[in-house]
A and B are shown apart, each in its own frame.
Chain A
Amino acid sequence: MAEPLTRELIALRVARELRGGMVVNLGIGLPTLVGNFLPEGEQVLLQSENGILGYGRMSDADFDSDLINAGGQPVTLLPGASFFDSVDSFAMIRGGHVDVAVLGGLEVSERGDLANWYLPERGGGSIGGAMDLACGARRLIIAMTHTARGDRPRIRTRCEYPLTAAGVVDLIVTDLAVIEVHPDGLLLTEVAPGFDPAYVQARTEPRLRISRDLREMDL
């Protein structure tokens, strides 16, 4: 019996979308793991909302409270890094200077609407940089599990949770599939090893078109 991808493998698959020279913002949670799988020998410039471009690995030695990413984690700096204030940081984000944002998701609709900040059953959530990243990044990739508790599909005809932004998602990478968001709907392009399109469709609310080039994820 095939197993859905682990969080690390979802992150690895997302990292395959990134190339040297890109400016990339990784959200809190699963997207942060993408930083562990960046392409070798190429420099992806990681942007953090709190005012860093060009941070590297997480650091645990000599914690410095002034050197953290937006998730509060201590980070190291790569040669060529820069610091800036929050106004500049969001000029970068809103102004289309960030090539790719990778965010977590609670729900994505077939029109590319994203809900990822407010969880009604907990009666709470926070916005942080998510709405600006979703609206401003040139390409938005959502990394999430395909279903929530009780096999509830996260990919929906319409989002039921409060939206982060409407019509913004470009690519969905889950533990079962890679799905592109197009103006005419969702296109299934890859399935996790051992899974078939019917299995993915059964756990997805809207109808998926299946790519003529459908393949198994290369991990």
Chain B
Amino acid sequence: MNGNIFDTPDDALHDVFEGATIMFGGFVSAGSPSNLILALQRRGTSGITGIANNIGLGDLLDVLNERRQLAKFIATFAIRASGGRASRFEELYRRGEVELELVPQGTFAERIRAGGAGLGGVLTRTGLGTMVQEGKQVLNVGGEDYLLEMPLRADFAFIKAHRADRMGNLQYRLAGRNFNPVMATAARIVIAEVEEIVEPGAIDPSDVGTPAVYVDRIVRCDPVPVRWEG
């Protein structure tokens, strides 16, 4: 990172374009880049392919459906089988107005890792003999069948960390890591929302969760408290 510290989340998103593919870190309420999501809503960019663990479940991502900014979403958890209030995403999906690719969570993590680590794909037993297998290559290695799962990359990754130093080293807190570190490796432009920006050296190198090399932009924001009401 070259000192790309932005004053507002809106400024940090200045070049997000129509049809962009965007990864969003976070797991339900933990480590979710809520200020960046709200800035994307204000910006109104549409045709987005979103990639996140969940949508409409204790995150703010569902605001992007108020003006139909999403064309497609890749997630592990988006549609509930049980009762409860449906998210806007769920309503749009049921009307065929947004596309959904549902991915097992471990496969989701490993596809992003492959995308960020320069690997050509992932072999996993997860999903064999299920709907997830449809249209995918099965490879037999050492007498075991595996599904070939392809890497995921994005134009942008919006991530959330607790602190950043001015070089872009990030420190996470509690269960706020989840998909943030791996998504930071897999996008062309990585924008981190943090609660505090400190001088280099103020974060103990042992505590750096994402090294600065992966981070392009940082913006300090007050956290948005989000709670999943089920």
Q: Which residues does A use to contact B, with CB under 8 Å?
A: 29, 48-52, 63-68, 70, 72, 83-87, 89-90, 93-94, 117-119, 122-132, 135-136, 162-166
Contacts and interface: CB of A to CB of B under 8 A. Distances in A.
Interface residues on B, range: 35 or more
Given A51-B175, A86-B179, A132-B126, A66 B30 contact: yes
Contacts of A128: 76-77, 105
A68 B225 CA distance: 13
A66 B132 contact: no
B174 A126 contact: no
Contacts of A51: 27, 175, 177-178
A68 B54 CA distance: 14
A126 B78 contact: yes
A90 B109 contact: yes
Given A85-B179, A87-B109, A136-B126, A131 B132 contact: yes
Contacts of B220: none
B110 interface: yes
B106 A94 contact: yes
B77 A126 contact: yes
Contact of B103 (A50, A122, A127, A130): A127
Contact of A124 (B80, B108, B132, B177): B80
Given A63-B227, A87-B113, A125 B80 contact: yes
A123 B94 CA distance: 9
Interface string B80-108: 11100000001000100000001111111
A125 B104 CA distance: 12
Contact of A66 (B53, B77, B109, B176): B176
Given A52-B175, A94-B126, 13 more contacts: A48-B175, A50-B175, A70-B28, A72-B57, A83-B177, A85-B182, A86-B53, A86-B179, A90-B109, A124-B90, A127-B102, A127-B103, A129-B76
B136 to A, nearest CB: 13
B135 interface: no
Among A122, A123, A126, A165, find the residue whose CB has the most chain B CB atoms closer than 10 A.
A126
A165 B145 CA distance: 14
Contact of A68 (B29, B53, B223, B230): B29
A52 B103 CA distance: 21
A166 B31 CA distance: 33
A186 to B, nearest CB: 20
Contacts of B226: 65
Contact of B129 (A90, A93, A165): A165
A135 B128 CA distance: 9
Contacts of B132: 127, 131
12 contacts: A50-B28, A66-B175, A67-B174, A72-B228, A72-B230, A84-B177, A85-B209, A86-B177, A89-B178, A118-B81, A131-B106, A162-B130
Nearest to B78: A126
A162 to B, nearest CB: 5
B173 interface: yes
Among B82, B109, B225, find the residue whose CB has the most chain A CB atoms closer than 10 A.
B109
B27 A50 contact: yes
Nearest to B90: A124
Contact of B81 (A93, A124, A129): A124
Nearest to B131: A162
